[in-house]
Amino acid sequence: MTITTTKAPDRTRTLPRRTGKAAGQRLRTLGLYVLAILVGLGAWQLVAMEYGPSLVASPRETLSAAGELAADGTLGNSIVASSRRILIGWGLGVLVGAPVGLLIGQIRIVRQLLEPYTEFFRFIPPVAFVTLAVVWLGIGETSKVVLIFYTAVFIVTLNTSAGVMAVNESKVRAAASLGASRSQILRRVVLPATVPYIFTGARLAMGNCFLTIVSAEIVAAQVGLGSLIWTSRNYGRIDWVFVGIITLGVLGLVYDRVLRLIASRVLYKYGVKA
């Protein structure tokens, strides 16, 4: 009688290969990012050399201006002021828009009552309300936060309601046939399927909030990145304008990355692939 044994695969040999492959992919991605930035800086430098500092500030001039603005506190104060307004208005928009979107998607009568308003106001840009916001609410923080909130709330509401209405009806019926209540269906079936739509709406709203903050601060703010850009224009400091624009882009990139990281953690918790 012959007994054959099958040797178990040695998983310890495949683990370093996978780890090395992942590390290689990260290095390759990092290298492509660095290459793209260097190409962009080179193109920027060529354009600056072609048109001169009166029209286009070079990377070195922009960096020098950033150091100048950072030294006297102008840049830091502008970043803090704009970030505070964006995060408060955007956060309120998400907190209001997500529940309203869930109600619109789940309850027909709520959808019929609110849909005319959401469809009407989402086509009016926040810039159109800047003057009214200043007249009604003054030039303080409230007017700018309300404009940011207005920017975010309809985007989050529409994306959330679209996610609710995209839920597979068979899953809802299956849960109901197993005895799940309406609140349980909402928590266990609808919400996990809608979370990706909520985060997508939140990311889109964040991008639009950056568009709104510049207009709001140009009209009614003494401190902020929008105010910095406008004031720099009045003084003829093109390099300061470039600092404000680039700072907006960097802030937006950072906030979006943080939001994507949070989204991946939350989606993993709900068992949804990011």
* CATH code for position 97: 1.10.3720.10
Residue 243 lies in a domain: yes
Residue 236 lies in a domain: yes
Residue 24 lies in a domain: no
Residue 212 lies in a domain: yes
Residue 46 lies in a domain: no
pTM: 0.84
**Distance set, CA 161 to CA 19, 169, 199, 274 (Å):** 41, 15, 13, 20
Domain count, the chain: 1
Q: What is the mean pLDDT of residues 221-235?
A: 88
Q: What is the mean pLDDT of residues 35-40?
A: 91
2 pLDDT higher than 60:
no
The predicted pLDDT at position 174 comes to 81
Residue 146 lies in a domain: yes
Which backbone phi and psi does 141 adopt, to 5 degrees? -70, -30
The predicted pLDDT at position 1 comes to 45
- Tell me the per-residue pLDDT of 87-97, one tens digit each, with 9 for 90 and over: 999 999 999 99
Q: Which residues of 132-159 are buried (b: 16+ CB within 10 A; e: fewer)?
A: ebbeebeeebebbbbbbbbbbbbbbbbb
Q: Show the DSSP H helices in the chain as ranges.
A: 11-51, 59-71, 74-106, 108-121, 130-137, 141-165, 169-177, 182-185, 191-220, 225-235, 238-269
Residue 18 lies in a domain: no
Residue 51 lies in a domain: no
Better-predicted residue by pLDDT, 144 or 175: 144
Host domain of residue 171: 70-269
Reference 196, options 255, 107, 264; nearest CA is: 264
